[in-house]
A and B are shown apart, each in its own frame.
Chain A
Amino acid sequence: MFLRQREPLIFERSVPGKRGMDLPRLDVPEAQDTRPAHLRRSSFDALPELSEVDVIRHFTRLSKWNYGVDDGIYPLGSCTMKHNPRLNEKVAGLAGFTDSHPMAPDALVQGNLELVYTLQSWLQEITGLPGVTLQPSAGAAGELTGVMLIRAYHLSRGAQRRVILIPDSGHGTNPATAAMAGYDVVEMPSQPDGTISFADVTDPSSGKVRKGLLSLVAELGPEIAGAMITNPNTVGVFEYRFKEISDLLHSIDALVYMDGANMNALIGVARPGDFGVDVMHLNLHKTFSTPHGGGGPGAGPVCCAEKLRPFLPVPVVVRDTVKAGEGAEPTHTYHWDWDRPQSIGKVHTFYGNFGILVRALTYCLSHGSDGLKAATLRAIVNANYIRVRLQGAYALHIDSPSLHEVVFSDTLQAKREVHTLDIAKRLIDHGYHPPTIYFPLIVPGAMMIEPTESEDKYELDAFCDTMLTIAREAEEIPEALHHAPILAPLRRLDETTAARKPVLRWQKPAAVQA
């Protein structure tokens, strides 16, 4: 699978005089140099000189050190690594979309506005929430937008509230977002199944008491702006008292934010708008199959209840319907509404990661209502199949059906000094990308497996057989697993030294000696 030879840094391949790009003939007079002398570009120190062949080979070889969704199951929990349909890529590359300019007048980009409007209506129906903005560039940007909506809501009612409640099982982006939006974070303890504890929780080892939801609401009441809750939670369990939680928070006029990272478990089965969610984000790069791109670009649309709509970022797309006469087919035109006095403002320079929106709508149209629901059900079946096949060999964190992902821990293997990291690295030797590890934080040695709906029984069995082999290896040759991976291009990397003495760019050798 991997290319065995080393590919040097491109800077070591540079040869003066090579060219990877020929410029067109200049058909106007040469530029006059109007720059002040000190603002003329002087040297470049790193830009390499290469031919197109060099560049193509470099990036082709480097690519072979990556693992992608087409290589096989990519079971990163909470990341929803599903198949990326090629049609979506082709459509996103249509010149009608890629050549369109974000500052062009609305009348010239009617296709784009129709696309935004149409995708918004799909997301409205899927979430049961009437307000939508597609502007946030990623899940975390969506969270920030959503929390700013909450803040704007309270300000409009003359109240500035201080606190956002977040369960200890939540993604790290939740507290980081709340802080960026100017809030203090108060952590809610969870029960063993990752659901939020209403009652106070006593830590069995330290004896320390952590206040549960009821105590926090009683104590902080009017200071609470809202809560950020992932549902299904990061253990893959539906927050079964969600409606009670939202009713309780609404009773003190606090709002409910839902982190929609795990929406792949709910589409067509349950709608956040029906269980009291006021605002949430979706990750188009997870649930709606837009490619992860080695870390991005993503898109994090925000959906909200009617009461938060006035605060949505500007501009908001509006559809105007014209009917030529009695019985005539209505025709639609679209425009951006910038005149939204209560809006929080802009959260992206233009309209968000538009190219990603094109892919997400293509996904929606391909699946349709029936395909979306079928995908949800299959994702859940796949996760439970893995649960059943691996239970016994690995310790299940909770012993009940999961939704779209399943969390194991390393407690059985830890007896032989084999830990989650060893298991993950050994999976690489067997040709698989490891699952999400050591998250959620509430499960020690967590291995969070999310197969998605894309995997068939053959692929699931192959992965499970490998996990079972590793469990046997942990019994029989525990020492060996500490050395994994041995078949990847590199062995384990020393991340501690990398952080202690960071080298964050290449420098010309001479400059290093200086």
Chain B
Amino acid sequence: MRYLPSSPIEDRALLDAIGVADAEALLTGIPEPLRLRRELDLPTQSSEQEVAGQMQAMANRNTRFCAQFLGAGAYDHFVPSAIDALISRQEWFTAYTPYQPEISQGTLQHLFEYQTLICDLTGLEVTNASLYDGGTSCVEAALMAVRVAKKRHTVLVSRGLHPLYRDVLATNFAPHAELNLVEVGLKDGVTDLADLQAKLSSDVAAVLVGYPNFLGAVEDLAALAGPIHAAGALLVSVTQEAFAFGWLEAPGRVGADMACGEAMSLGNKPTYGGPFLGFLAVKDAHKRELPGRLVGQAKDLQDRTGYVLTLTAREQHIRRDKATSNICSNQGLVTLRANIFMQLAGPEGLRGLAKQNAAKAQYLRQRLLGLPDMAVVDDQPFFNEFVLRYTGDYAALEEACLQESLLPGLDLGRYYPEYQGCILWCATELHTRQMIESLVEILARVPATV
């Protein structure tokens, strides 16, 4: 076995030094009835060549596309070559949690820079070294808001939030009988202000709103912040497409008290939904309730600047059942991808990419609306995703697209019955005019249904 250092000579030397006849003699601590006295019923070892072939065959069984017009929480963007080259350095990808700061300054300084940039994107003051993904970031944000608010037990969630984020929230709120998760409805594709006002009360700790929301619409956070703050609740903005931070004002500057969501767009491919990059940024006043790992500046014995894991009194290995969360890892290598991406892009790159995304999405929408069976649903400002009503048959449209190796937008009816017959479309900088024209051409040929 190529990964094991075994050889008969060496094995013997080790066993002799230990003073046992064989490795079995070291297993006497496991009671005999609990031992597995057969081989595992699995294939035996394989060469690198064989395994590479098997895995390649599996990858080939996924359908490949010339273009994907599907976003919905996982966005296909260009990934600069520097990212894979850098993260392939063993010092980055094989290292572990920087428990020993003197020997982990690379990871620690990187995380300090990453935290700085997430704060910059969100317009907030403190962020942790990442959370698992968009859905779990909402859970941590909501639970943190409950801790911050004290004696408030209700969290309002806009129906415009990613439906799977709402599912993850529901799973994690279920064990807490004392907490309520209440949905706020949509009106014209954005959070319904009247419904929000009706549901706000002195028991509401926080309101979670998509920015932009799942339907692609840009929610006016500033307008929502008024009534939310008047009720003494926190506004949590949830961004599932981090490129939007190059187009839309930082949530922290337009009334959000906390910003969470998904930042996979910064240097990652869709990869069937993970590993992704959850983030949570908050105000300085709330930092001691923040879950997860945090890196801070420190001085060494010679007064040189370095970085350490800090405010660990919030965490599970110190506080155990009183910790702010059970989280004990972060999305380490994914934060590194995001940090490298942000540093390559810089302010002009991020703005420029965002502008291109907006241009492509606007062009796609305009071209689709030229088709007789596509129509506007809610005419809201959007970034790189939007909803159109389709009077044809989605299955026929999908079939026609797949024939030509295009992945169409999302059939929204599955998640929003009120949007039955509507499609959520997405375009990014990867979509060329030619791809968009082929899509439109294919759709024009889809036979109309009765």
Residues of B close to A56: CB separation below 8 A: 82, 85-86
Q: Sorted from nearest, which 10 A-B pairs have the closest CB atoms? A: A350-B273, A96-B59, A102-B273, A293-B333, A456-B5, A111-B61, A345-B171, A182-B175, A349-B135, A368-B45
A381 to B30, CA, bound (A): 15
Residues of B close to A271: CB separation below 8 A: 36
Contact of A491 among B102, B333, B362 (CB under 8 A): B102
Determine if A38 is an interface residue (Cβ-Cβ < 8 Å): yes
Residues of A close to B271: CB separation below 8 A: 97-98, 100, 354-355
Residues of A close to B19: CB separation below 8 A: 388
A387 to B172, CA, bound (A): 43
Residues of A close to B321: CB separation below 8 A: 175-176, 178-179, 185
Determine if B293 is an interface residue (Cβ-Cβ < 8 Å): yes
Question: Is the pair B120, A296 in contact by a Cβ cutoff of 8 Å?
Answer: no
Residues of B close to A173: CB separation below 8 A: 316-317, 326, 328
Question: Is the pair A355, B91 in contact by a Cβ cutoff of 8 Å?
Answer: no
Most chain A C-beta atoms within 10 Å of own C-beta, residue among B135, B248, B344: B344
Question: Is the pair B95, A504 in contact by a Cβ cutoff of 8 Å?
Answer: no
Determine if A510 is an interface residue (Cβ-Cβ < 8 Å): no
A488 to B102, CA, bound (A): 6
A23 to B116, CA, bound (A): 24
Assuming the A-B contacts A109-B62, A348-B132, A456-B10, are A505 and B44 also in contact, with contact meaning beta carbons closer than 8 angstroms in the complex?
no
Residues of B close to A28: CB separation below 8 A: 359-360, 362-363, 433, 436
Determine if B331 is an interface residue (Cβ-Cβ < 8 Å): yes
Instruction: Tell me which of B146-154, B226-234, B307-315, B440-448 binds A.
Output: B307-315
Q: Tell me which residues from 26 to 67 in chain A have a Cβ below 8 Å from any Cβ of chain B.
A: 26-32, 34-36, 38-42, 44-50, 52, 55-56, 58-60, 62-67
Question: Is the pair B262, A349 in contact by a Cβ cutoff of 8 Å?
Answer: yes
Interface string of B98-112 (1 = CB under 8 A from A): 111111111101101
Distance to closest chain A CB from B15 (angstroms): 7
Question: Is the pair A46, B91 in contact by a Cβ cutoff of 8 Å?
Answer: no
Question: Is the pair B310, A176 in contact by a Cβ cutoff of 8 Å?
Answer: no
Closest residue of A by beta carbon distance from B326: A176
| Extra pairs beyond A355-B274, A504-B310 (19, CB < 8 Å) | A20-B345, A30-B355, A35-B381, A39-B222, A60-B86, A87-B51, A101-B270, A172-B320, A175-B321, A296-B130, A348-B132, A349-B136, A361-B55, A365-B43, A371-B3, A385-B18, A424-B100, A492-B301, A502-B311
Question: Is the pair A97, B102 in contact by a Cβ cutoff of 8 Å?
Answer: no
Q: Tell me which residues from 32 to 67 in chain B have a Cβ below 8 Å from any Cβ of chain A.
A: 33-36, 39-46, 48, 50-52, 54-56, 58-65
Question: Is the pair A504, B115 in contact by a Cβ cutoff of 8 Å?
Answer: yes
Determine if A400 is an interface residue (Cβ-Cβ < 8 Å): yes
Interface string of A178-215 (1 = CB under 8 A from B): 11111101000000000000000000000000000000
Residues of A close to B99: CB separation below 8 A: 76, 436
Determine if A467 is an interface residue (Cβ-Cβ < 8 Å): no
Residues of B close to A10: CB separation below 8 A: 113, 343
Question: Is the pair A384, B18 in contact by a Cβ cutoff of 8 Å?
Answer: yes
Residues of B close to A26: CB separation below 8 A: 356, 359
Question: Is the pair B117, A292 in contact by a Cβ cutoff of 8 Å?
Answer: no
Instruction: Tell me which of B73-81, B194-202, B370-378 binds A.
Output: B73-81
Distance to closest chain A CB from B277 (angstroms): 9
Q: 22 interchain pairs (CB within 8 A)?
A: A11-B116, A29-B363, A34-B362, A47-B117, A58-B343, A59-B110, A60-B86, A64-B106, A67-B95, A96-B56, A100-B62, A122-B42, A125-B42, A126-B40, A294-B95, A345-B167, A349-B162, A351-B273, A353-B274, A355-B271, A368-B43, A369-B44
A99 to B75, CA, bound (A): 10
A510 to B62, CA, bound (A): 52
Interface string of A446-459 (1 = CB under 8 A from B): 00000001111100
A109 to B402, CA, bound (A): 13
Distance to closest chain A CB from B80 (angstroms): 6
Q: Tell me which residues from 396 to 445 in chain B have a Cβ below 8 Å from any Cβ of chain A.
A: 398, 402, 407, 410, 429, 432-434, 436
Determine if A392 is an interface residue (Cβ-Cβ < 8 Å): no
Residues of B close to A372: CB separation below 8 A: 40, 42
Residues of A close to B18: CB separation below 8 A: 381, 384-385, 387-388
Question: Is the pair A365, B54 in contact by a Cβ cutoff of 8 Å?
Answer: yes
Determine if B188 is an interface residue (Cβ-Cβ < 8 Å): no
Determine if A234 is an interface residue (Cβ-Cβ < 8 Å): no
A140 to B325, CA, bound (A): 10
A355 to B133, CA, bound (A): 14
Distance to closest chain B CB from A36 (angstroms): 6
A18 to B349, CA, bound (A): 10
Residues of B close to A69: CB separation below 8 A: 90, 94-95
Determine if B193 is an interface residue (Cβ-Cβ < 8 Å): no
Contact of B34 among A242, A348, A349, A352 (CB under 8 A): A242
Question: Is the pair B3, A83 in contact by a Cβ cutoff of 8 Å?
Answer: yes
Question: Is the pair A493, B299 in contact by a Cβ cutoff of 8 Å?
Answer: yes
Determine if B289 is an interface residue (Cβ-Cβ < 8 Å): no
Interface string of B321-362 (1 = CB under 8 A from A): 111011111111110100010111111111111111011101
A425 to B301, CA, bound (A): 13
Determine if A103 is an interface residue (Cβ-Cβ < 8 Å): yes
A9 to B344, CA, bound (A): 15
Determine if A297 is an interface residue (Cβ-Cβ < 8 Å): yes
Residues of A close to B247: CB separation below 8 A: 35, 41
A67 to B108, CA, bound (A): 12
Question: Is the pair B300, A494 in contact by a Cβ cutoff of 8 Å?
Answer: yes
Closest residue of B by beta carbon distance from A40: B249
Determine if A248 is an interface residue (Cβ-Cβ < 8 Å): no
Question: Is the pair B381, A36 in contact by a Cβ cutoff of 8 Å?
Answer: yes
Closest residue of A by beta carbon distance from B27: A269
Distance to closest chain A CB from B161 (angstroms): 11
Distance to closest chain B CB from A156 (angstroms): 13
A113 to B380, CA, bound (A): 37
A107 to B61, CA, bound (A): 10
Closest residue of B by beta carbon distance from A347: B171
Question: Is the pair A490, B334 in contact by a Cβ cutoff of 8 Å?
Answer: no
Contact of A375 among B4, B26, B117 (CB under 8 A): B4
Most chain B C-beta atoms within 10 Å of own C-beta, residue among A59, A345, A361: A59
A238 to B46, CA, bound (A): 31
Determine if A104 is an interface residue (Cβ-Cβ < 8 Å): yes
Determine if A227 is an interface residue (Cβ-Cβ < 8 Å): no
A313 to B325, CA, bound (A): 20
Interface string of A59-88 (1 = CB under 8 A from B): 110111111111100101001010111010
Distance to closest chain A CB from B355 (angstroms): 5
